[in-house]
């Protein structure tokens, strides 16, 4: 399967029992959303009034944040701005998915399976937004707990780069929901380029800390065009350079 093709099983077969399953990414994303909706429903069952008030407060805060009365002190270069942005995106997508499924199942009396499949694009988008939010939050917590000040400053650059990349790749969605202005979108694009420029000299040093085998980096999942090429599995041997032939001096005189 795809794990064996991309040499993932060779790394995890002794430590992860689930490596034998040929899981589809779309299926795994649906499992994530199913758990999110289960937590959402459980919250309303255990504390209905408090959950309803909390939802109303979040909706009011999100509408105020995207209105012309919004006043945000956080700048795009601040990690707090990026964390709030990914949290906002996940909240809006989750409420939108709940509303869609409720309308299809309760109002239109559709089958839940058909309603779920009709919202599949929204489901995968919400799942990725949740994964991105959790990853960025855990990344920031790990950076702040780093004991070495020099390493903490270096990792904070990569944390800002990751958060900026998440917001940048979804800037059209944020603009549609009026979360930030076109001027802020341009500022985020410049920030992404500046961060890439600032970490280019330290990128290989940070990546080498993971000690990823070279053959795994050259796997087809990494974008190798021809997985059967010999250089895709092992580094190509260095060929000895041929000595250049000495050039004979040109005769200046004509015969």
171-210 pLDDT, tens per residue? 999 988 888 888 888 889 999 999 999 998 888 888 887 7
Residues of the chain with pLDDT under 50: 22, 67-71, 231-234, 236-237, 251, 253-255
d(CA 219, CA 64): 47
Give me the pLDDT at residue 206, please. 83
d(CA 15, CA 19): 9
Helix (H) / strand (E) containing 196: helix 182-199
Give me the pLDDT at residue 234, please. 47
Give me the pLDDT at residue 21, please. 52
14-210 carries CATH number 2.60.120.650? no
| Domain range annotation of the chain | 14-210
Give me the pLDDT at residue 23, please. 53
Asked whether 9 and 17 are in contact (CB, 8 A), the reply is no
Q: What share of the chain is helix, strand, coil (3-state, %, to 5)?
A: 70, 0, 30
- Give the dihedral sign, CA 235/238/239/244: positive
């Amino acid at each position: 399967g795809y794990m064996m093709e991309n040499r993932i099983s060779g790394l995890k077969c002794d430590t992860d029992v689930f490596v034998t399953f040929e899981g589809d990414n779309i299926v795994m994303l649906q499992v994530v959303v199913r758990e999110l909706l289960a937590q959402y429903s459980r919250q309303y069952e255990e504390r209905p009034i408090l959950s309803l008030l909390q939802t109303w407060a979040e909706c009011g805060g999100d509408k105020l944040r995207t209105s012309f009365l919004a006043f945000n002190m956080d700048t795009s270069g601040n990690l707090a701005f990026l964390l709030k942005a990914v949290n906002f995106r996940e909240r809006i997508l989750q409420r939108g998915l709940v509303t869609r499924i409720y309308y299809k199942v309760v109002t239109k009396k559709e089958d839940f399976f058909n309603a779920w499949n009709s919202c599949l694009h929204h489901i995968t988008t919400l799942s990725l937004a949740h994964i991105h939010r959790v990853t960025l939050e855990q990344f920031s917590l790990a950076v702040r707990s780093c004991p070495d000040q020099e390493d903490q400053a270096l990792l904070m650059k990569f944390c800002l780069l990751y958060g900026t990349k998440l917001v940048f790749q979804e800037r059209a969605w944020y603009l549609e929901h009026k979360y930030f202005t076109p001027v802020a979108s341009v500022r985020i694009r410049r920030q992404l380029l500046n961060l890439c420029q600032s970490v280019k000299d330290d990128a290989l040093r940070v990546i080498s800390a993971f000690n990823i085998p070279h053959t795994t980096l050259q796997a087809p999942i990494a974008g190798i065009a021809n997985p059967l090429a010999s250089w895709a599995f092992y580094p190509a041997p260095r060929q000895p350079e041929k000595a250049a032939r000495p050039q004979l001096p040109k005769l200046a005189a004509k015969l």
